[in-house]
Amino acid sequence: LFVVRAEDERGRHETARARRLVLAIGKRGTPRTLPIAIAAGAESRVSYALADARSFAGKRVLVVGLGDTAMEAALALSRQPGTLVTISYRGADFARGKARTIAELKAQVARGRVRLVFESQLEVP
């Protein structure tokens, strides 16, 4: 189980949990790796690319990052039946990305299909 804990400027805490994690930070073909140790046996549940969003149908998925690749992955995942998508982003707001992609992601957040957690970091429990 992957857990992301975030604290906002007012000290409020949020926690997101998922059995699978899609890390979408960095360029396609040269993704960054997670800045934490992955527990033995959990490596198969961490993906550095999204080949088939359908394989995540009905799952809880954590997407790390908020660039175009991360947003596109989160959107594709959010369209799958029963899939709960949480995005963890270390920044305080959208910093880059295509306007159309940001608008679509915000719409999915408003529909409750995506949960967006700003100012969050990954840690090993």
CA pair distance 93, 109, nearest whole angstrom: 14
Average pLDDT over residues 72-98: 93
Average pLDDT over residues 79-90: 94
Displacement of CA 69 from its chain's centroid (Å): 11
- Does residue 75 come out as left (phi exceeding 0), alpha (psi in the -120 to 50 range) or beta? alpha
Joined tokens for residue 33: 């790796």
pTM: 0.74
| Per-residue pLDDT reduced to its tens digit, 28-76 | 566 667 777 888 888 888 888 888 899 999 999 999 989 888 999 999 9
CA pair distance 1, 45, nearest whole angstrom: 9
Percent of the chain having pLDDT more than 70? 89
- The three-class DSSP label of residue 4 is strand
